[in-house]
Copies of this chain bind each other. A is one copy, B any other.
Amino acid sequence: MAQDAPAGAALDAAPLAPDFAPHPPGPPLAALTVEGDWLSAAWSDGLSRRFYAPWLRENAVQAGVDPVTRERGLDLSLMAPPRLQGAEEASGVVTLSWAGEASPTRHLLGWLRDAAEGRGLAQAGLPAQTPWDAAAMPEPISFDGPAALSDDAVLQDWLVATRRYGLARLRGLGGDHGTVQRVAERVGVVRSSSFGFLFDVESKPDPDSAAYTSDALTGHTDLPTREMQPGLQLLHCRENGCTDGFSTMADGFAIADALREEEPETFEALTTLPWVFTNRHRSFDYRQSRPIVALGPDGAVREVAYSNALRAEPDMEEGDVPRAYAAMRRMMQLAASSRFLCRYPFAPGDLVIFDNRRILHGRDRFTPQTGTRRLQGCYLDTDELLSRLRVLHRNGRA
């Protein structure tokens, strides 16, 4: 397995993989042959794969990748293409020789095996996303809050559920200011916004958002006014004396999937007709034009973006406007329906995390006279969740 080496260590002590992931040796090789610009490897369990020689050359530690930063120093655009001449393997190390180069490069066989299995790809090891309706999710799946702060296994379980369902809850966290930041930083770097690094959700004078009133909020995503909506929102209930003001969550992916099947014209309008979403404010003017439902290159639903409060101009041909309104109306009716709506009280010490590009979140109107309701929240980008999931997965494999 690759070990870290201090800068300037001799070659023999240098790491043999260009990254910090563990690379268990895997099964023994059955064959290793040079075929022109390709290295062909076959393992005893039947897996085989061809590796492009320039890719091997530029991923060699020290000869291609700096052993300290693990960033590539070699730049193939500045040199003649490397030509592979020979390959051999011994004791889990693959040694490659190159035309015109005095020294061979050395590579960990386990790293090659992991590449053959696709473990270097972006989606490797990430949980699948599972759509849900109200029957499947009567309330958020819950985990022990203090344990998630101290125990990586609990953190991993909570984040796997977050990725899978787009919604998961920690309980028992008390009511301290800044708890939401401590939890968020267990995952990664907080994303700030014009609403602050952390935001306090409570009734306030001269509010710049309906969130800061006691009004009901119908299902929405936050910051559809930005090119990339925050990937995750964390909301911590610090105090709640109100008996009303229940939280609401609906899975936008499940609703869009249902519409694709049941009402294809509605789905088509939602995925193709863009609206401008705007934060109307004295000192900023964020705007983004986007359809309510965005599809990925594979045609699957990738993102939902909607806020009735922030929806401004239909950015489409005049003739499309009536069906855009009808489709919006239909989707939001489903989002508020008993078929899809998860509705539950928000108890002090609870913290919910949800995928802000998938889940439509809201709340019932509350009655401030019955008690104090104080939430604190912040955002994280999806990058942070996926990075933390990969590291927890990597560490579990080590």
B120, A313: Cβ atoms closer than 8 Å: yes
Contact of A121 among B309, B310, B313 (CB under 8 A): B313
Q: Bound state CA distance, A9 and B218, in angstroms?
A: 25
> Which of the 9-residue segments A88-96, A155-163, A262-270, A325-333 touches chain B?
A325-333
A: number of interface residues (CB 8 Å): 89
Nearest CB of B to A43, in Å: 17
Q: Contacts A218-B77, A227-B228 given: A72-B321 contact, CB under 8 Å?
A: no
Contact of A282 among B20, B122, B382 (CB under 8 A): B20
Q: Bound state CA distance, A21 and B330, in angstroms?
A: 31
Q: Bound state CA distance, A122 and B311, in angstroms?
A: 12
B190, A194: Cβ atoms closer than 8 Å: no
Chain B proximity mask over A293-332: 1 for CB below 8 Å, otherwise 0: 0000000000000001111111100100110010011101
Q: Bound state CA distance, A70 and B311, in angstroms?
A: 11
B52, A285: Cβ atoms closer than 8 Å: no
Nearest CB of B to A300, in Å: 15
A77, B207: Cβ atoms closer than 8 Å: no
Q: Bound state CA distance, A73 and B310, in angstroms?
A: 10
B71, A310: Cβ atoms closer than 8 Å: yes
Q: Bound state CA distance, A123 and B66, in angstroms?
A: 43
A322, B52: Cβ atoms closer than 8 Å: yes
Contact of A314 among B20, B52, B191 (CB under 8 A): B52
Indicate if A281 sits at the interface (CB-CB under 8 A): yes
A284, B73: Cβ atoms closer than 8 Å: no
Indicate if A75 sits at the interface (CB-CB under 8 A): yes
B383, A71: Cβ atoms closer than 8 Å: no
In the bound complex, residues from chain B placing their C-beta under 8 Å from that of A68 are 206-207
Q: Bound state CA distance, A54 and B190, in angstroms?
A: 38
Chain B proximity mask over A75-115: 1 for CB below 8 Å, otherwise 0: 11110010000000000000000000000000000000001
Q: Which of A189, A191, A209 has the most CB of B within 10 A?
A: A189
New A-B pairs, 9, CB < 8 Å, besides A69-B208, A78-B218, A287-B390: A55-B325, A72-B311, A75-B218, A123-B289, A189-B192, A192-B192, A227-B382, A286-B383, A287-B386
